[in-house]
Amino acid sequence: MLEIRSIRHCRSCGNKVRYEVPPDDNRERAVCSACRTIHYENPLNVVGTLPVWGEQVLLCKRNIEPRHGMWTLPAGFMEQGETTAEGALRETIEEAGAHVEMQGLYTLLNVTRVSQVHMYYRARLLDTDFAPGPETIEARLFREHEIPWEQLAFRTVRATLQFFFEDRQTGQFTLHCADIA
């Protein structure tokens, strides 16, 4: 298991924390040396869509780091108070300005190296009028043979696209779960 220690100070009182196993727990946590508040560190959820128009998929060219100038599916961090599907739809609108009909959860990918879980939903594009937001240089449709595989920003995007093109051959789109090393 990957060990991540990013908390240095207590969010309650500001004193330094120590990593120790609290009573009735089974792993080290950030524990305040003064007020004994336990701070839990949990993975971040990244949510997005795989927008499809006929034989084409929508990709966005990133205008932000990390991976500025590389292609990705519209996705980002889930916000408080939203479901995974709501977050995926919001990110699709923010990054691509795309109008979609949400379909089922398609990939659930564990990226333990950075403590993230990526979830992509299949989505049917309702039109081809895109209005990319400030995080996107360009939003564009690609056929399978046009995908810029060497310029994809993230391994989770590559995996999701590979699953999609494999499933498209059979017409069976099932949920794919995988660990990305």
Q: Are residues 170 and 98 in the same domain?
A: yes
pLDDT in tens, the chain (181 residues): 556 678 999 999 999 999 999 999 999 999 999 999 999 988 999 999 999 999 999 999 999 999 999 999 999 999 999 999 999 999 999 999 999 999 999 999 999 999 999 999 999 999 999 999 999 999 999 999 999 999 999 999 999 999 999 999 999 999 999 999 8
Total domain count, the chain: 2
Are 58 and 124 in contact by the 8 Å Cβ rule? The answer is no
Q: For residues 140 and 96, state if they share a domain.
A: yes
* pLDDT value, residue 6: 83
In angstroms, rounded to a whole number, what is the distance separating the alpha carbons of residues 99 and 173? 21
Q: What is the pLDDT of residue 2?
A: 56
Shared domain for 113 and 24, answered yes or no, is no
Q: What is the pTM of this model?
A: 0.89
The structure tokens 């949510």 sit at: 47
34, 68: one domain: no
For residue 16, what is the DSSP state? B
Same domain, 7 and 58: no
Same domain (yes/no): 148, 109: yes
At CA 143, angle to CA 50 and CA 76, rounded to 5?
Answer: 25
**Short-list 164, 172, 170, CA closest to 53:** 164
Contact 94, 135 (CB under 8 A): yes
List the CATH number of the domain containing 123: 3.90.79.10
**Residues 5 and 17 grouped into a single domain:** yes
Query: What pLDDT is attached to residue 3?
Result: 61
Tokens at 164, concatenated: 């999609």
CA separation for the pair 164, 126 (Å, rounded): 19
Side chain identity at residue 109, one-letter code = L
Which structural domain, as residue segments, surrounds residue 36? 1-41
pLDDT at 109: 98
